[in-house]
Structure 1
Amino acid sequence: MSTLVVYVDRSGEVCHDGPVVGWEAVQALVTDVGLEDPEDSRVNCLLEALHVARDLRDGGEKAVVAVVPGGGDGINSHRAVARGVERLRSEHDLDGAIVVTDSAGDERLVPIIESRVRVDAVDRVVVRQSHDIQSTYYLLKQFLGDEELRGTVLVPIGAALLAFPLLLLFADLAVAVSAIAGVIGLFLLYKGLGVDAFVSTLPLRIKEGLYSGQVSLVTYVVGAGLALIGVFAGGIRAAGMGGGDLLVGLRFLFDSVPWMAAAAMAAATGRLVDGLLGDEGVSSALMNLPFGVVAVGLVVRGFTGYFLERSTAIDPLAVPAVEAGVVSVDGFVVSIWGRLALYVAVGVLVSLVGVGFTSRMTNDRSLEELPE
């Protein structure tokens, strides 16, 4: 078994009449190409192929060095390379191949070689005197060829450079730099979090939801309305109190959390119903989501209520008197610690109920799927 050390002449200018095989043939080709153009980078590739083959032989391996011609950048060039590799594989007992290249364009031919013989390594030759320049050139070329990367990096930089002198005309340097940094940060978050992909597919998802009659489409709208109500209710209550920003924020959470939890529960319930009605089934996480939302809402309500009652921003929790026939319960006031413990205990209980329900449903579904 031998290892093929091959240099692919994509342009087909080094050799025209098929592959050049063997140490002496490739060495003679180096002399011919070097005498014709000593500055040609292909001379270095041919010498590198000979160098790799010599190292393999010194290590006790059998090596076959060859040059396979192409014919440009088109399909005919790729087919010529494929025919050349097929010929080498039929004439030699090849175990693997090492491909020598001098550009990123030549590396596009590696899959063609790999489809005929296993490629163990790719050796890119970069001239030492211009290593940094050539490497930078290939990196820039690859960067500019990626449309998505260009849009993510070059667009915000170009917009910032255009907006900076305009902002300096109407504001000072600090305002201009802050505004540009904020816009670039929002743009990067917009791209990094995948908001752009979600927004681009949102009309199609809404259309599919309307045509397929998905319940989640309606529950999402209900959830959005409940969330707006929660923001409005929390804002009104928080705007009418003083005592510092911390208390204002706690009051906003205290009054908006029930509405937010209801909104999240509505959206989660819609997804749960769609999963139950669909063919794909429902995951255990989706089953447990409504219970988790309610449990978190209760715990947050309990802690915010504790801090607000401690600061006398809200009244203690009072349980009114209840009469039901012969049974009557006198009204009483729950202590501040009792209030916190009650909310936390109910939240934990709801969470445990969700875990038990999810486990039961998952086990029942697993039993139904077992073969009889």
Structure 2
Amino acid sequence: MQTLILCIDRDNDLGEKADIRGPLIGREANIEAAVKLGTADPEDSDTNTIFGGIRVLDDMLAKGIDAEIVTLAGDRNIGIISDQKIANQLDLILKKFNAESAIFISDGAEDETLLPIVQSRIKIDSVRRIVVMQSANLESTYYIIKHAFNDPKISQTFFVPLGLASLIYAFFLMIDYPQGAVIGILAAIGLYMLYRGFGDSISILWGHMNDSFYSGRMTFVTYAIAGVIFALATIVGLVNVWNLYTSEGVWYYGIVPLVTVFINSTVWFYTGSILFADLGKIIDCKKSGRSVFRYIIPAFFAISMGLLFWGASTYLMSINPVIGSESLDSQAGVQYFVYSIVAAIIIALLGIKISTNIKMEEKKGLVGSADADT
């Protein structure tokens, strides 16, 4: 056989509505099935698909081309089950007919999702879509909308923010405070966008926390402490910024005073959270006998960066009349800044030195144990 004409009934309307099992082979069997399906449900588009395939068959036979029509039926559970049934039926047909190519008859985008399955088994020369004239794009549009609702990626990306915004707006209307709806919606969308942006990092961190909790590692406790400190630091910084923002005259000097106060009031909290997180890793490595040198430098560098940001923010506060104090003049601010730079460099070099020594000792221990084994 030269050409196989394939009609697809993915949701098995033939079986559900007309009690006909696929596959259907030959012109007469397909005409009989189409008549029964059309009688059972005149609005079903699969009837038009089968008649469209018969029309293509007649045209090809009139041209002297050896062809046969086959209708494959899937399952009402559209997806893996229905596609596997269609694939199995197609394999049986191809064993029976040694066809060189196929013409795919479709009634819309839903059936055409099976094109890769068919193409993996036989070459497709043409795709013919049979569409009722008065509803040319109805089924394709319906399928696209249905697919959007069922696709987790699309639904989570678009529908979750819309759902959150609707719930927040309804809540503020219920408590008779519509002005707060804008703030709540913006905050919810902002948090959602941050989550989507850092989703992979959050998932990895959550996985590490689970492993640490169930394996009894110290990192679970230190990570929890670090998270609490980080949250407290953010709250303290925002409270200080809000107090400064609401004081008289701060709006005149711009955003620099606000950022400076936030950094100066939170830098050591953030540094402490990093140190706690790193401390847990060091303790766990010591307990398991693994190398700790890779976690030594981050601790010293965190302190160095804390000193730099503290010194720079202190200097900016000393020269700003809005956020400065009587006990902190510009000369003292310069001294603090210079001292913080020198101390940061010394601490960073000390961390590199200690880490290098630990690494060298571990290498010597490995070489010694290898010599002892030999």
TM interval, shorter chain, is 0.5 to 0.7
Q: How does 1:272-287 map to 2 (within 5 A)?
A: 273-274=283-284
Q: How does 1:300-339 map to 2 (within 5 A)?
A: 300-311=309-320, 313=325, 314-315=328-329, 335=335, 338-339=338-339
Gaps of 5+ in 2: 368-373
Q: How does 1:1-372 map to 2 (within 5 A)?
A: 5-9=5-9, 10-12=12-14, 16=20, 19-20=23-24, 40-46=44-50, 66-70=69-73, 72-73=75-76, 81-93=86-98, 99-102=104-107, 106=111, 117=121, 127=132, 129-145=134-150, 149=155, 152=160, 155-156=163-164, 158-160=166-168, 162-163=170-171, 165-166=173-174, 170-171=176-177, 175=179, 177-182=181-186, 184-185=188-189, 188-189=192-193, 192=196, 209-224=212-227, 226-227=229-230, 244=250, 246-247=256-257, 249-271=259-281, 273-274=283-284, 289-311=298-320, 313=325, 314-315=328-329, 335=335, 338-339=338-339, 341-342=341-342, 345=345, 353=352
Looking at secondary structure, tell me which structure has more helix per residue.
2
State the aligned residue count: 337
- State the SS of the aligned residue for 1:73: coil
- State the SS of the aligned residue for 2:7: strand
Q: Is the 8 A contact 1:254 1:305 kept in 2?
A: yes
Give, as a single letter, the amino acid of the residue that structure 2 aligns with 1:261: T
TM-score by length of 1: 0.59
Q: Is the 8 A contact 1:3 1:94 kept in 2?
A: yes
CA deviations over 1:180-219 (Å, ceiling 9, x no partner): 5335425634763577x969x96x9767534422111222
CA deviations over 1:264-314 (Å, ceiling 9, x no partner): 1221332355467669x8999977644553343233223223323444653
- Bigger drift between 301-310 and 176-185 goes to 176-185
Aligned counterpart, 1:325: none
Distance 1:257 1:190, change over 3 A: closer
Q: Is the 8 A contact 2:14 2:73 kept in 1?
A: yes
Give, as a single letter, the amino acid of the residue that structure 2 aligns with 1:342: V
| Deviation for aligned residue 1:357 | 5.4
Give, as a single letter, the amino acid of the residue that structure 2 aligns with 1:41: S
Identity within the alignment, %? 20
| Deviation for aligned residue 1:73 | 2.2
> What is the RMSD computed on CA atoms of the aligned residues?
5.9
Q: Is the 8 A contact 1:6 1:66 kept in 2?
A: yes
Q: Is the 8 A contact 2:282 2:292 kept in 1?
A: no
Q: Is the 8 A contact 1:103 1:124 kept in 2?
A: yes
Distance 1:189 1:106, change over 3 A: same
1:233 and 1:180 mapped to 2: Cα distance?
21
Distance 1:67 1:292, change over 3 A: farther
TM-score by length of 2: 0.59
